[in-house]
């Protein structure tokens, strides 16, 4: 068994601390913000006693780290990947500029690359300096629209310890009015189906309610659509397994993210579970759609 080793980097304010906390909760020894020159010592000092299995390691580093050099970091990651005893993955966290600005404003902290200038100047400069790392990362996560809880779910999908082999799957419903989920790998549109929103008795319910699911299923195109989705997704999963993909997010959207997409996501998740897959299910906008009165 090779020792799991996750190197966490990315844009300042994109969630490195949250990621390291999540990895620590999973059982990793999580170390943040030490100079890259000490990385070899860190690996050696956390190997444990002779004959014992070394604990998994998570190492956080970004532009706030003393002497940070992104190209030197990439070289070290490649060197560690050649080490037979380590299973190294580079995790790159990012977010859009508006989200990063808001997070810095809320925390009232200056950007490390622009301590006496507007935050946006630091964000632009940081993208210029380390943007190339994104292309070399094993896992990239855009945290712009993610709550800390959802980010932890995604990280668990990629890096959880002691789970069954094979790609782990997240199925989620969403509202197109609130935008595509950035973390989605496969996206399907359910807006062509009959809409329960216009049925007075069904409008206050969600796709998790049997009456709504039954109504959506009466659409003559529903079953052929589900069969085609299963026929598309089913053959892909063994190929993802063979390629070593650890986590797959399947997103289903409708107008309000409350009825049709929820019912379809529920059915897909149940089908995948019956197939023996590890599945998490999330309805991103179901409750918010109720508050906003959005069509589902």
Q: Are 280 and 188 found together in one domain?
A: yes
- pTM, 2 dp: 0.76
Q: Which of residues 140, 159, 178 is at a domain's end?
A: 159
Q: 49 has which bridge partners?
A: none
pLDDT value for 291? 44
Q: Are 57 and 180 found together in one domain?
A: no
Give the span between the Cα atoms of 288 and 258, in whole angstroms.
Answer: 9
Give the span between the Cα atoms of 41 and 116, in whole angstroms.
Answer: 35
Q: Are 82 and 18 found together in one domain?
A: yes
Q: Do 262 and 208 contact (CB within 8 A), yes or no?
A: yes
- pLDDT digits over 239-267, tens only? 998 887 888 999 999 999 999 999 999 99
Q: Are 136 and 178 found together in one domain?
A: no
Question: Where do the DSSP E strands lie in the chain?
Answer: 3-10, 29-32, 57-60, 86-94, 139-142, 168-175, 186-189, 247-254, 279-283
Q: Which of residues 159, 188, 219 is at a domain's end?
A: 159
Any idea which residue has 């089908």 for tokens?
271
Helical packing angle, 148-159 and 16-26, nearest 10°: 50
Q: Are 146 and 272 found together in one domain?
A: no
CATH of the domain at 21: 3.40.50.300
Q: Do 186 and 264 contact (CB within 8 A), yes or no?
A: no
Q: 81 has which bridge partners?
A: none
Q: Are 176 and 124 found together in one domain?
A: no
Helix (H) or strand (E) holding 9: strand 3-10
Total domain count for the chain? 2
Task: Give the pLDDT band of residue 295 (cuts 50, 70, 90).
Answer: low
pLDDT value for 292? 45
Task: Give the pLDDT band of residue 145 (cuts 50, 70, 90).
Answer: confident
Q: Are 103 and 221 found together in one domain?
A: no
Q: Are 108 and 184 found together in one domain?
A: no
Q: Of 117, 119, 95, which Cα lies nearest the Cα of 107? A: 119
Domain that holds residue 263: 168-292
Q: Are 214 and 70 found together in one domain?
A: no
- pLDDT digits over 41-69, tens only? 888 888 767 667 888 999 999 998 988 99
Q: Which of residues 159, 179, 202 is at a domain's end?
A: 159
Q: Are 224 and 187 found together in one domain?
A: yes
Number of H helices, E strands in the chain: 10, 9
Q: Are 16 and 153 found together in one domain?
A: yes
Q: Are 56 and 136 found together in one domain?
A: yes
């Amino acid at each position: 068994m090779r020792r799991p080793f996750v190197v966490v980097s990315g844009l300042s304010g994109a969630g490195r601390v949250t990621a390291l906390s999540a990895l620590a909760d999973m059982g990793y020894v999580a170390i943040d913000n030490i100079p890259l020159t000490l990385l070899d010592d860190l690996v050696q000092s956390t190997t444990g006693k002779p004959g014992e299995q070394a604990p998994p390691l998570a190492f956080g580093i970004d532009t706030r780290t003393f002497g940070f050099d992104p190209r030197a970091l990439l070289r070290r990651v490649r060197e560690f990947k050649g080490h037979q005893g380590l299973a190294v993955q580079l995790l790159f966290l990012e977010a859009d500029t508006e989200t990063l600005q808001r997070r810095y404003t809320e925390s009232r902290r200056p950007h490390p690359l622009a301590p006496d200038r507007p935050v946006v100047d630091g964000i632009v400069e940081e993208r210029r300096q380390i943007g190339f790392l994104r292309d070399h990362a094993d896992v990239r996560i855009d945290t712009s629209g993610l709550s800390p809880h959802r980010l932890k779910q995604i990280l668990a999908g990629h890096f959880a310890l002691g789970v069954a082999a094979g790609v782990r799957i997240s199925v989620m419903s969403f509202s197109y009015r609130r935008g595509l989920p950035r973390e989605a790998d496969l996206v399907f549109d359910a807006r062509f189906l009959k809409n329960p929103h216009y049925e007075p008795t069904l409008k206050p319910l969600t796709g998790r309610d049997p009456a709504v699911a039954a109504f959506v299923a009466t659409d003559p195109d529903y079953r052929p659509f589900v069969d085609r989705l299963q026929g598309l997704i089913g053959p892909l999963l063994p190929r993802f397994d063979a390629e070593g993909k650890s986590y797959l997010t399947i997103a289903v959207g409708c107008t309000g993210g409350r009825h049709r997409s929820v019912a379809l996501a529920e059915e897909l998740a149940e089908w995948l579970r019956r197939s023996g897959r590890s599945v998490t299910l999330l309805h991103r906008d179901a409750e918010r759609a109720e508050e906003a009165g959005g069509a589902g």
